[in-house]
A and B are shown apart, each in its own frame.
Chain A
């Protein structure tokens, strides 16, 4: 039993913290809210140069083959600065799926370019329902000529228009809730039969409804064995979800630090408001939740790396870290008083993301139902 970081993990943490504090301060998060891509290509390239995109991938495609624990060390730092980037959808989800299921040719074609920061790949799983797993997928892919034809509607596709490809999950067989029959396809977002409708999100990031209306995909762009996608996707998604937990924990730490610092300075009734017990108790409960969410997240990451049964702990981490970030962001703004709700204050960056991330990649209720299944149905 040991919760210390290794030397390597400590180095990763401190490099990431100092890099992000200069290259991606909170002003970057704000600036990218009105950027058409939602992230800075320049920053993205610099992140690639640090080797971050190869972190979870094997050496044969230019990666460094590190674990989920290291991923969380990194995404926590990204969360602390609310770093806007397609890191999770591109590097962990789409990249992870190609690495896990793609053939050698596909891996060599996509991964080195992704790792060097040239290629962005979006990830399209969820549809017009609230599930974040196979139950969501109704979209169909029917064999035709040398390939498939895709039909369906994807929701919440992040950074889709800035991407070079979208990895789309569709059914070649079966129907929800079956996990058998799912397949993965690389789709060009500029295909004439793809229509992207922007969604206005509270975090002001770039998300889209993606309509696939008879989109043709060549066999070379089918990732993995048709019908068997879930076998590799399940683990990839769990990794992505845990990475988001790390991001949320980091963001929670940051807003909590901001609120604590403010409470020490702001004077009312002749005393710093941090001397008032109501304020102290909000902050004390919140930091305890954050530390619990942090430990739960690392435990989930460690469980994935150890290859142990992970469904319940991943669900617990996501629901708990999501609830924790929401609460921390909410109370963080409140402690700032009226100014906390000023559009130009950094508190609102957290306030808006706190609710959104709690609801994305499976809302808390979705994951709670999975926890209940694991506990009550086996």
Chain B
């Protein structure tokens, strides 16, 4: 048992921090939980990392990777990026590359992985539909084989990054007669492709996601990931990576530390907040929730580096705890502020420039997206505890 990162890992962490310090700007910094690569500045930031070889660490040499490397390198990189509100590499690397490596054809691996590792291409993950949210296996978007191409018709909803992505990693229904989990396949689609229409959706904190409509969109059949009608397996695997690689506990720790600093620096009702016994107990309780989250995160990391092990249970626990922690943290923080808690950006009187309001509004997103609190609990109950189906 050893809770310390190795010297080599610490050295890498330091290097990443120095890089972030040197390259981070206000325009790059993002409110998303995991920063998107949606502007030239943000993409440039990640390209600089790829030039240092940081995106290729640990991936096989034949696809442009470095081969054997520090197992925790990817985790450390994402952790620091999350902490700094920088664009994250978890989606492209953690989700697409990992899933392709395990399941994709040689052709797809050769075509996509090297370019991802160089940050030449961006991705959107397209699973959700109006009638398939938590019940993702209910996805209906049709893909029918016509010669050497699939023809797609239907709608995807909440497709983040679709407005700047080069490719869409898309779940489609290829067998409408099979039981719902057995008729799904995974396709890689060029964005744009004729017949595809995007319609932006603005979220409560002003960040964009998208509805995407498909009207006879044609996709070559070599773009099928893995086997036909086996897509559900790949998607659940990819979702586990997503829960792990795209969501980190680091932002919650950062927000907590920021709250602590604010409490230390602030007087309310003529008294320093730090001397208020109620505030002190609130901070202590939050500290416990945050520390527990950090521990679950580290546990998940320790499991995830085991060869060929997909930490589905650990990731679900992490995801659930993240949603709970973010909720109590932001709610308690605004409570401590009293009426100042509802002042939003640029008003001059807003504590922390109103950022905690964004965080409060966004906490709900963490409770629902990509298996939120309730769905994660279902996963833990069924998979980990072996409780019977309802």
Residues of A near any B CB (own CB < 8 A): 1-6, 9, 69, 260, 263-264, 271-272, 274-277, 279-281, 283-285, 287-289, 291-293, 295-296, 298-299, 302-303, 306, 312-313, 316, 319-320, 323, 365, 367-369, 371-372, 375-377
Q: CB distance A371 to B284 under 8 Å?
A: yes
**In the complex, which residues 88-137 of chain B have their Cβ closer than 8 Å to any Cβ of chain A?**
none
Q: CB distance B1 to A287 under 8 Å?
A: no
Closest to A3 in B: B302
Given contacts A2-B302, A274-B388, A283-B381, 11 further A-B contacts (CB under 8 A): A1-B4, A3-B1, A280-B377, A284-B385, A288-B296, A288-B321, A296-B295, A299-B3, A312-B287, A376-B264, A376-B283
- A377 to B264 Cα, complex, angstroms: 8
Q: Which residues of B contact A316 (CB under 8 A)?
A: 287-288, 291
A320/B2 contact (C-beta < 8 A), A275-B388, A277-B378 known: no
Output the residue of A9, A283, A285, A298 with the most chain B CB within 10 A: A285
**In the complex, which residues 252-288 of chain B have their Cβ closer than 8 Å to any Cβ of chain A?**
260, 263-264, 274, 280-281, 283-285, 287-288
Q: CB distance A9 to B1 under 8 Å?
A: yes
Q: CB distance B377 to A292 under 8 Å?
A: no
A277/B281 contact (C-beta < 8 A), A284-B320, A298-B1, A375-B287 known: no
Closest to B290 in A: A316
Residues 359-384 of B, flagged 1 when their CB comes within 8 A of A and 0 if not, give: 00000000000000010111011101
Say yes or no: is B299 at the interface (Cβ < 8 Å to chain A).
yes
A376/B387 contact (C-beta < 8 A), A3-B302, A368-B285 known: no
Closest to A4 in B: B1
- A271 to B389 Cα, complex, angstroms: 10
A291/B284 contact (C-beta < 8 A), A260-B385, A271-B388 known: no
Residues of B near any A CB (own CB < 8 A): 1-6, 9, 72, 260, 263-264, 274, 280-281, 283-285, 287-288, 291-293, 295-296, 298-299, 301-302, 317, 320-321, 374, 376-378, 380-382, 384-390
Q: Which residues of B contact A365 (CB under 8 A)?
A: 281
Q: CB distance A274 to B387 under 8 Å?
A: yes
Q: Which listed residue (A69, A293, A369) contacts B284, Cβ 8 A?
A: A369
Q: CB distance A288 to B380 under 8 Å?
A: yes
- A369 to B279 Cα, complex, angstroms: 10
- A375 to B291 Cα, complex, angstroms: 13
Closest to A5 in B: B1
Q: Which residues of B contact A313 (CB under 8 A)?
A: 291
Quote the shortest CB–CB distance from A368 to chain B (angstroms).
4
- A1 to B302 Cα, complex, angstroms: 7
- A284 to B317 Cα, complex, angstroms: 8
Give the secondary structure class of B's interface.
helix
A375/B388 contact (C-beta < 8 A), A284-B320, A295-B295 known: no
Q: CB distance B380 to A319 under 8 Å?
A: no
A320/B291 contact (C-beta < 8 A), A260-B385, A283-B385, A288-B296 known: yes
Give the secondary structure class of A's interface.
helix
Q: Which residues of A contact B72 (CB under 8 A)?
A: 1
- A116 to B120 Cα, complex, angstroms: 69
Q: CB distance B281 to A368 under 8 Å?
A: yes
- A306 to B6 Cα, complex, angstroms: 15
Q: CB distance B390 to A276 under 8 Å?
A: yes
- A375 to B386 Cα, complex, angstroms: 40
- A260 to B386 Cα, complex, angstroms: 9
Closest to B289 in A: A320
Quote the shortest CB–CB distance from B343 to chain A (angstroms).
24
Q: CB distance A277 to B390 under 8 Å?
A: yes
A302/B1 contact (C-beta < 8 A), A281-B381, A291-B296 known: yes
Quote the shortest CB–CB distance from B62 to chain A (angstroms).
29
Can you list 25 A-B contacts (CB < 8 A)?
A1-B5, A1-B9, A1-B72, A5-B1, A9-B1, A264-B386, A271-B388, A272-B387, A272-B388, A277-B390, A284-B320, A284-B376, A284-B380, A291-B299, A296-B295, A302-B3, A316-B291, A320-B292, A368-B284, A368-B288, A375-B284, A375-B287, A376-B264, A376-B280, A376-B283
A1/B2 contact (C-beta < 8 A), A280-B381, A371-B288 known: yes
- A319 to B290 Cα, complex, angstroms: 13
Closest to A313 in B: B291
Closest to A293 in B: B292
Q: CB distance B387 to A280 under 8 Å?
A: yes
Closest to A372 in B: B280
Quote the shortest CB–CB distance from A342 to chain B (angstroms).
24
Quote the shortest CB–CB distance from A241 to chain B (angstroms).
15
Quote the shortest CB–CB distance from B185 to chain A (angstroms).
30
Q: CB distance B295 to A2 under 8 Å?
A: no
A295/B287 contact (C-beta < 8 A), A276-B390, A284-B385 known: no
Q: CB distance B3 to A287 under 8 Å?
A: no
A292/B283 contact (C-beta < 8 A), A272-B388, A377-B274 known: no
- A313 to B3 Cα, complex, angstroms: 13
Q: Which residues of B contact A271 (CB under 8 A)?
A: 388, 390
Q: CB distance B321 to A292 under 8 Å?
A: yes
Q: Which listed residue (A9, A283, A299, A375) contacts B387, Cβ 8 A?
A: A283
Q: Which residues of A contact B293 (CB under 8 A)?
A: 292
